[in-house]
Amino acid sequence: MTTSPLAQAVGDLEEETAVTLVQDKLAKGEAALSILEELQAGMNIVGERFEEGEYFLSELIYAADIFKKAGAPLQEELKSATQSSYGTLVLGTVKNDIHDFGKDIVATVMGSNGIKVIDLGVNVEHQAFVDAVKESGATLVGMSCLLTTVFDDMKDAVQTLKDAGLRDQVTVLIGGGPVDQATADYVGADYYCKTAQDGVIAAKKVLGVN
Amino acid sequence: MADAHEPNAGPGGPGGFAPPPLFFERMQRLQTAVACGTPDRVPLSLVMDLFAANTMGVSYPDFVSSVDIAGQTMLGAMEKLGDVDSIQFPTYAPDVLGMLWLAPMKLPGRDLPEHSQWQMDEQVRIQREDYDKILEMGWSPWFGQYIGKHLGAAAAAGQALQEAGPRWTMEYMKKGYVVFSPLTVDHPFEHLAGARTVKEFTLDLFQIPDKVQAVLDLIMAEKREQARQFVRAVGQPGLGYWVGSWRTAPEFLSPRLWNRFVWPYMKELVEIVAEEGGTPVLHYDANWDREIERLKDLPARRCVLELDGKTDIFRAKKILAGHMCILGDVHPAMLTLGTVADVKAYCGRLLDEVGPDGYIMAMGCAIPPDAKFENVKAMVDSVKR
Ligand code: B12
């Protein structure tokens, strides 16, 4: 897979180039979702360089800001969809993890596909998922997790739903950079979602929507 | 002057009484270690706060309410631990941390539940426009009005410590304990990063680097003189001054940023303290592996490198042997969750591989509040083998 100029700009921390490229692409009528994928590929470059010791926390913080800024004009298009709601998703980044871009995209994309989202934010206590499900009667729970070191927290969060007697009533979707099917099996989730779009497909399947 | 060097707890001086011989014996031990020599036995130097409260059965709200209760409690814990050469500061008031990070503190019993550790209330308190204001007004005038707005409790704590520090230092001396490093000289980066928050300040470093540097230079222009005068006025050769690193650790910043915004200022502050006869104590939290070589550029056999368990202390020793004394680094988790046997084994390794020359046995950073007493005691006793 070759790296697109946009992904490269994000990876190289070239803020202005990244912002301009997104605007050009939008002007040319490219779909917001595909532009988003390129931005995300750029974040993967950043992650690789961090792992290799070329980038440090300072670069992660700057990359995160570039991602947010460059991606801002996409929000409109990602949001513009139906108003009615097919069901409710309680969403959050699990305890001890504060990464929120992926989760925010999930919230936007789900919302734009007619699913009501209750966003609990980041570093979410296990019990908060339970409380929100009880309060809203949600049938979907989404957990985002970007740190392998926090998989056990995600496992505990699922267990807390079980302990509260809610596990049969909800479908648990999980996602985030290092998460895969094995993670889903390990933590006891129902669906592993590689992208926010996968999440929508899974949610619609569960809710019986086409 | 509080901005250049708020005290850990004020200077202390021998005032009209003769400390016991034990005091001089311990002082000798510490000075030999600082000069990278081999003392009769490896000395100890502890940092503790709420651990002392737990050890002495003092409640957290009481401990943080008065510098005298804190001093009494910490001295009590030292006596309970027995043969400890030194403590780094003699009393404490956590509000004073506000002078370092320009943010108010939340304290147990005041802003938090009674049995919680204090926290810094980090928020974006200055905007990018404030950099221009600082450049216009000058650092001290700007900081004066900032204290008025946000740091009343911090300034009061600083004053209380300046008054109580010398008094309590004397109480420790009477009992034969050395107060090793009661004063601080702060890096301007720590101030700005605290007032801006780490995230916003990091973005500033990428997006408006020249302005940030101008502000750091302006603060430094005042600090370099203040620090020099201060160490001179205290006038106790060999007394330790923390030149610490928290947000400036290489772990958080790429070399490009670190070389520009951290190291030049750090190096100069250390040199000033040393030139004036103080002992710079490099209280470096987080991982410094990448830049250990750099410490060879600091004055030889004058500084103490205090590590918290994240830096590879054994590797640091290999690089700095004969050049810089190392202090640390029994890990907080080991003191809390480990067993006496774990602590003994690790301390043995420290004594063999980081000691016996140019080494001071200690915890990493500070003894955690919930450390097991027997584990701390095992660390203390380890040097007597
Ligand atoms: C930006 C970033 C940060 C920023 C976060 C800013 C923020 N507000 O989110 C900051 C600087 C704060 C940060 C901090 C840290 N980070 Co970080 N960070 C990243 C980075 C570069 C990008 C993450 C990102 O935003 N990606 C873009 C988004 C859009 O992708 P995504 O989250 O995967 O989401 C998509 C899908 O996965 C999916 N999805 C995600 N969640 C969910 C949930 C559901 C329900 C569904 C359906 C779908 C779904 O949908 C999204 C869109 O398709 C990654 C590298 C990488 N390649 O991921 C490292 C990375 C995740 N971080 C890492 C590390 C180590 C850290 C720190 C520990 C660093 C440190 N030394 O302090 C801290 C941890 C702080 C904490 N307690 O959480 C490591 C994790 C390694 C590991 N063992 O797991 C990574 C992988 C970097 C690396 N290669 O080493 N980080």
Residues B106-142: pLDDT tens digits? 999 999 999 988 989 989 999 999 999 999 999 999 9
Q: Do B253 and A61 touch (CB under 8 A)?
A: no
Show me where the domains of chain A are located.
Answer: 5-79, 83-207
Q: Does any ligand 1 atom lie closer than 6 A to the CB of residue A33? A: no
pTM listed for this prediction: 0.83
Distance of CA B278 to the CA centre of its chain: 14
pLDDT in tens, B6-18: 556 544 444 567 8
- Of A119, A122, A67, A117, whose CA–CA distance to A87 is shortest? A117
Concatenate the DSSP letters of all residues of B203-217 into one string. Answer: HHHHHSHHHHHHHHH
Over pLDDT 70: what percentage of chain A?
96
Question: For residue A62, which residues of chain B lie inside 8 Å, CB to CB?
Answer: 202-203, 206
- Nearest residue of B to residue A15 by CA position? B207
> d(Cα B166, Cα A36) in Å, to the nearest integer?
61
What is the Å distance from ligand 1's center to A99 Cα? 5
Give the pLDDT of residue A75.
81
pLDDT band of residue A155 (cuts 50, 70, 90) is very high
Q: Which helix (H) or strand (E) holds A20?
A: helix A15-27
pLDDT in tens, B158-214: 999 999 999 999 999 999 999 999 999 999 999 999 999 999 999 999 999 999 999
- Nearest residue of A to residue B257 by CA position? A58
Give the pLDDT of residue A125.
96
> Domains in chain B: how many in total?
1
Over pLDDT 90: what percentage of chain B?
93
Q: Does any ligand 1 atom lie closer than 6 A to the CB of residue A142? A: yes
What is the Å distance from ligand 1's center to A195 Cα? 13
Q: Do B253 and A65 touch (CB under 8 A)?
A: no
Question: For residue B205, which residues of chain A lie inside 8 Å, CB to CB?
Answer: 58
Domain containing residue B56: 2-382
Give the pLDDT of residue B264.
98
> d(Cα B167, Cα B155) in Å, to the nearest integer?
19
The stretch B87-92 carries a mean pLDDT of 97
Give the pLDDT of residue A149.
83
Give the pLDDT of residue B372.
96
At which residue do the structure tokens 């729970």 appear? A141
- Of A9, A175, A12, whose CA–CA distance to A92 is shortest? A175
Is A56 in the B-facing interface, judged by CB distances under 8 Å?
yes
The more confident residue out of A32 and B260 is B260
**Residue of A16, A54, A62 best to disrupt the B interface, most CBs of B under 10 A:** A62
Give the pLDDT of residue A81.
46
B90 contacts B172 by C-beta, under 8 angstroms = yes
**Where in chain A does DSSP place strands (E)?**
87-93, 115-119, 140-144, 171-175, 191-193
What's A83-207's CATH class?
alpha beta
The complex's ipTM? 0.90
At which residue do the structure tokens 């450049």 appear? B135
- Of B248, B194, B188, whose CA–CA distance to B212 is shortest? B188
Residue type at position B259: N
What is the Å distance from ligand 1's center to A178 Cα? 8
Q: Do A56 and B254 touch (CB under 8 A)?
A: yes
Give the pLDDT of residue B45.
98
Q: Do B254 and A59 touch (CB under 8 A)?
A: yes
Q: Does any ligand 1 atom lie closer than 6 A to the CB of residue A57? A: yes
Residue B217: phi and psi, rounded to 5, are -65, -40
pLDDT reading at A143 higher than 50? yes
pLDDT in tens, B352-377: 999 999 999 999 999 999 999 999 99
- Nearest Cα of chain B lies from the Cα of A62 at a distance, in angstroms, of 6
Could you report how far apart the first and last alpha carbons of chain B are, in Å? 44
Q: Which of residues 120-179 of A touch B (CB under 8 A)?
A: none
pLDDT reading at A82 higher than 50? no
At which residue do the structure tokens 């790296």 appear? A3
Q: Does any ligand 1 atom lie closer than 6 A to the CB of residue A148? A: yes
pLDDT band of residue A33 (cuts 50, 70, 90) is confident
Lowest mean pLDDT among A148-157, B87-96, B274-283: A148-157
A193 contacts A199 by C-beta, under 8 angstroms = yes
Domain A5-79 has CATH 1.10.1240.10: yes
At which residue do the structure tokens 């980081």 appear? B354
Q: Do B203 and A62 touch (CB under 8 A)?
A: yes
Closest ligand 1 atom to the C-alpha of A57?
Answer: 11
Question: For residue A13, which residues of chain B lie inside 8 Å, CB to CB?
Answer: 206
CATH number of the domain enclosing B74? 3.20.20.210
Interface of B with A (CB under 8 A): 198-199, 202-203, 205-207, 250-254, 257
β-pairing verdict for B240-242 and B45-46: unpaired
- Nearest Cα of chain B lies from the Cα of A89 at a distance, in angstroms, of 30
| Residue in B199, B250, B251 nearest the CB of A61 | B199
B141 contacts B219 by C-beta, under 8 angstroms = no
Cα distances from B340 to residues A142, B50, B86, B343, B383, in angstroms, run 44, 21, 22, 5, 14
> d(Cα A119, Cα A100) in Å, to the nearest integer?
11
B315 backbone φψ class: left, alpha, beta (φ>0; ψ -120 to 50): alpha
Mean of per-residue pLDDT scores for chain B: 94
Q: Does any ligand 1 atom lie closer than 6 A to the CB of residue A121? A: no
**Where in A57-178 does DSSP place strands (E)?**
87-93, 115-119, 140-144, 171-175
Q: Does any ligand 1 atom lie closer than 6 A to the CB of residue A166? A: no
- Of B250, B260, B140, whose CA–CA distance to B212 is shortest? B260
> d(Cα B190, Cα B135) in Å, to the nearest integer?
18
> d(Cα B259, Cα B89) in Å, to the nearest integer?
31
pLDDT in tens, B292-340: 999 999 999 999 999 999 999 999 999 999 999 999 999 988 999 899 9
**Where in chain B does DSSP place strands (E)?**
45-46, 86-87, 105-106, 119-120, 178-179, 183-184, 240-242, 279-284, 304-307, 325-330, 359-363
Pocket probe for ligand 1: among A60, A62, A74, the residue whose CB has the most ligand atoms within 8 Å is A60
Which residues are CB-neighbours of A123 under 8 A, at least 6 positions away?
A93, A94, A95, A96, A97, A98
Which residues are CB-neighbours of A42 under 8 A, at least 6 positions away?
A6, A7, A8, A9, A10, A11, A18, A63, A67
Q: Token digits for B200? A: 């916003």
Q: Do A57 and B251 touch (CB under 8 A)?
A: yes
Q: Does any ligand 1 atom lie closer than 6 A to the CB of residue A149? A: yes
Is A55 in the B-facing interface, judged by CB distances under 8 Å?
yes
